[in-house]
Amino acid sequence: MERQNITLSLPKDLLRQIKHLAVEEGVSLSGFLTGLLQDAVKKNYEYQEAREHHLRLLATTDLGTKGTINWGRSDLHAR
């Protein structure tokens, strides 16, 4: 995998805390941040895939109503 350096500006206190987390994980600062960013990208991709899947289901599935609403507000709130 080809790599490219970037410049990142962080508050000193945050950078110190991130360095400690990286040491606890036994990875470099760069490796730690790379892992966090990969996780964020993966979660976003998985969310988008799930969203598209469920939107396709909604578009193609009859929920038993045949497109009509057969109940009123009072029916929904009856106790």
pLDDT tens digits, 20-78: 999 999 999 999 999 999 999 999 999 999 999 999 988 888 777 777 888 888 888 87
Please tell me the pTM assigned to this model: 0.71
* Rounded-to-integer distance, Cα 79 and Cα 68, Å: 23
Please tell me the predicted confidence (pLDDT) of residue 24: 98
Identify which has the larger pLDDT, 9 or 72.
9
Please tell me the predicted confidence (pLDDT) of residue 79: 63
* Rounded-to-integer distance, Cα 30 and Cα 6, Å: 11
Please tell me the predicted confidence (pLDDT) of residue 66: 76
